[in-house]
Amino acid sequence: MCRHIAYVGPPVPFGEIVLDPPHGLYRQSWAPRHQKHGTVNADGFGVGWYAPGDPVPARYRRAGPIWADDQLPDLARVVRTGALLAAVRDATVAGPDAEAAAAPFAGDGHLFSHNGAVAGWPDSVAPLAAGLAPEELLRLQARCDAAFVWALVRHRLTRGDELGDALADTVASVAGAAPGSRLNLLLTDGTTIAATSWGDTLYHLALPGGGRVVAAEPYDDSPHWTEVPDRTLLRATRTDVHLTPLKEPAT
């Protein structure tokens, strides 16, 4: 489980989105207000962002809690971006992957995070692994359920699926193979944000100066946050947001 957030909009120091809000991701690492599973997100963190004119995002990830990192405040103050994805992690199962298991995962110009858990991992999704090419399995960035879900999403993106379709199809596949999974997924290409609500909370906010935030929970007490219903796919840009119900997989 974790808390995560994505932003697209005018360039800002990424600390304005990640660290500065009174109930932002930084505080959510030890005091989340809406988290349904787990209470402390101290098993790693990461921030990924896009520099102007560069479609390949940069990342800063660490295995420890976000509040213990001395370098992050300086980076957050001086690095400006018009698109980011960040997360703090509460590991479902302890493992040796360290920062490799910390979101955001990256590839082909995308950033990705998974808030939730795959039920019965890893045996439950072995049939889905059989549908991936050997090289896709070999490039798994960590040996955790989130990294595997990212491999499934990336497989769909590589074949040309649109961001929202890639998430929706992945949720349907994993939920069908592993009923009871929690699959709140978050994905961006630096222009568009796609997200699913499937077992945990999700909100979005249009910012007064332009831009949009999609997050596991509100980072302040603004009345303008909108909660996304469970079992929903969200697609968002700086100016628009569209919600599509997700169907339960056939049994």
pLDDT digits (tens, 9 = 90+) for 12-36: 999 999 999 999 999 999 999 999 8
Q: Which residues of the chain have pLDDT under 70?
A: 1, 92-97, 251
Q: Where are the beta strands (DSSP E) in 90-177?
A: 105-107, 110-117
Q: For residue range 131-172, list pLDDT tens digits in order.
A: 999 999 988 989 899 999 999 999 999 999 999 999 999 999
Q: 């995560």: which residue's tokens? A: 4
Q: Structure tokens of 221?
A: 């007490």
What local confidence, expressed as pLDDT, does residue 38 receive?
85
For residue 95, count other CB atoms closer than 10 A to its CB.
13
Question: Is residue 125 classed as helix, strand or coil in its secondary structure?
Answer: helix
pLDDT of residue 91: 80
Name the active-site residue from 1, 2, 76, 111: 2
The rounded distance, in Å, linking the Cα atoms of 48 and 62 is 12
Q: What domains sit in the chain, N to C, each tagged with a CATH number?
A: 2-241 (3.60.20.10)
Strand partners, 240: none
Which letter does DSSP use for residue 221 in this model? -
CA 229, 235, 156: angle at the middle one, nearest 5? 110
118 vs 76: CA distance, rounded Å: 32
* 2 is a catalytic site residue: yes
